[in-house]
Amino acid sequence: MRKRLIGKAFAIAMSGAMVLTATPVTANIFNVAHIVKAADEQSDEYVYCYAGLTWNEYWASEGVYAAGNDSSSDTLDSHSELDNGGYDAVTRATTNHGLHRGSFQCITTIYTTDRSAYQISNWEQVKDSDGKVTATYLHLKDVEGRVTFNKGTLTFADNSTKKMDHYSVSGIKYVPVKVKASDYNDFKAKYSVVENNGTLIGGYAEGVLSSYEASANVTADTNGLKEAVKGSDGSFSFKARTTGTDSGIKNQTLQKAVKITPTVKAASGSYGEFLRVDLNGDDYGALGDKMQAVKWTYYGNDSTRTKALASYGTKFAADNWMHKSMGIQLGLTDSIRCQLPKNTDGTGYWSLTVYALGYEDYTVNFEATKDNIVSKKALASDEEKASLQKLVTEAESLKKDSYVDSSNKQTAFANLQTELDESKELLNKKELSSAEVSEQITHLTEAINAVKALKTKDAATTAAPSTTKPAATTTVTNTTTVKAPAKTTVKLSKAKKTSIKVSWKKISGVAAYQIQYSTSKNFKNAKTVKVSAKSTSKVLKKLKKNKKYYVRVRSYKVTKVNNKSKNVYSAWSAKKALKTKKK
């Protein structure tokens, strides 16, 4: 068969030569190696599709620093998050923006407290005839029906519920791939695949960010195409991406990012980065919707950008982000996946390239100075903390009932609550950076202003002066202070090596206790459990092995505000720390 193919290719070459030229046939046409290669390509066709790849699989052949390293790190970055690893999955325990943003182009998976795992497909926003959002649902891969998600609780179509423990962002869900037809069935069994004419879907419409739904159309010339290669052990690796002129989307030409304004940011570190570039402008949202990955290249003092010193791959949520109104935020994190070359400090000439679904590669060339490189983290001053606390107080004073019902009202108050929760979380940190406070003040101010822009019920209604007696002034009854639990101790439970027993001195007259525990000394992403007032100890179970946990306890009483119950909390006890066993 191989001889017949070579003979056929030889004949085609001869006939082509005789038709296209009248000059003597040169030896190049009879290059046997070239003809054999052509014959091999004809003997094994390729299948083109989209596949979900982990960060490590995606970056392994892209010539970046630490390629192939998917190790994690227990060291917290300047944002108190565990983003200092290699090309491992990004893990978060928050219930706000991440699940929305991660659903656009990433493999985002929710893990529940019962150890179930659910990969997000997309969000569905139901609108009325006026285009106002009336309901929002989550669609999960391999789960039938709509799912509602409210502050970490998933409610399924059969009304059963589960509680989110955390979620991960492990890679890119739609990477254009070609794989040999003979290997395709094995490939399809190991990877999440969307075949041509299949559906690409994702996102959460918010601000300038739009959800999307399109049909796959991967070709040999699709931009960003990777070849999957089957190894002798049956596993697959992926070659470097190629540049092409096709979009990979049916009935759509390759898009070009326009009206984008890049800005090299002054040194901040508010997201844990040491160098940051933001992309704003009229059309940044369209690029942000489709952004999959970003590659940075460092040239040092080479202004011609001809000899790179190093290149770096990045991960969404850890390094890359987009905001509904404040642009795309791209950063480099001091981590296993990003270390500067010896005798350099990050100043000098750089380029970064955004890879996006259906888009041409978008490259920004820039120069970084010392003003752009984050050095030692500057802690927030008391004045800066007070400014954020003042905004928190203002945000808490805004009442939903004071505003006319509308879809804008629902969105504005949802955003306000998210930013309010994040602000409180920051203020509870032991070490809070100036950059974090500055960034959060901007976000919370925007959320407050969005609420203030709503129409109030007083402004919407014109009524005759009331002749009824005005309501009484707000009255608080049973006002009291609450003591913090004393003599708090922690020790390993006898039952299991991954359980911790927490004990404290009893406080009389309280309604209950709360125990908070975290692997972060600042109680980042802490879990809180309620304990009866009759108890003075609690065993915390299902903890991770070989991890240091920080624990604190507080008590609370219930008082009355205008005949409504309200909890009054004590201060937290002194925190205690203990490490679980390896085995």
Residue 179 forms part of a structural domain: yes
Residue 322 forms part of a structural domain: no
Residue that terminates a domain, selected from 192, 214, 238 = 238
> How big is the chain, counted in residues?
583
Same domain flag for 53 and 168: yes
Domain count for the chain, please give it.
4
What's the pLDDT score for residue 95?
A: 65
Q: Which domain covers residue 30, as residue numbers?
A: 2-43
The closest of 151, 147, 91, 153 to 122, measured between CA atoms, is 147
Same domain flag for 93 and 165: yes
CATH code of the domain in which 422 resides: 1.20.1270
Tell me the pLDDT of the chain (583 aa) as tens digits: 443 444 444 444 444 433 333 333 344 434 444 444 444 443 359 999 999 999 999 999 999 999 999 998 776 655 556 778 899 999 886 666 678 889 999 999 999 999 999 999 999 999 888 888 889 999 999 999 999 999 899 999 999 999 999 999 999 999 999 999 999 999 999 999 999 999 999 999 988 999 999 999 999 999 999 999 999 999 999 999 999 999 999 999 999 999 999 999 998 877 778 999 999 999 999 999 999 999 999 999 999 999 999 999 999 999 999 998 899 999 999 999 999 999 999 999 999 999 999 999 999 999 999 999 987 566 778 888 888 888 989 988 888 888 888 767 877 887 788 788 878 877 877 667 776 787 788 888 988 988 888 888 765 544 444 443 333 333 333 334 455 555 556 665 554 678 888 888 888 778 888 898 888 877 877 888 888 888 888 888 888 888 888 888 888 887 655 555 667 777 788 788 888 887 6
| Phi, psi for 505 (deg, rounded to 5) | -80, 135
Same domain flag for 38 and 96: no
Residue that terminates a domain, selected from 426, 460, 494 = 460
Same domain flag for 139 and 33: no
Residue 325 forms part of a structural domain: no
Q: Tell me the C-alpha distance between 501 and 492, whole Å.
A: 6
Residue 213 forms part of a structural domain: yes
Kind and range of the H or E run holding 425: helix 407-427
Residue 373 forms part of a structural domain: no
What's the pLDDT score for residue 570?
A: 79
Same domain flag for 104 and 23: no
Residue 34 forms part of a structural domain: yes
Taking a C-beta distance cutoff of 8 angstroms, is the pair 420, 473 a contact? no
Same domain flag for 58 and 140: yes
Same domain flag for 444 and 394: yes
CATH code of the domain in which 571 resides: 2.60.40.10
Residue 349 forms part of a structural domain: no
pTM for the complete prediction? 0.62
Residue 61 forms part of a structural domain: yes
Q: What string of DSSP letters covers 437-496?
A: HHHHHHHHHHHHHHHHTSPBHHHH---PPP-SPPPPPP-EES----PPP-S-EEEE-SS-
Token pair in block for residue 539:
């065993």
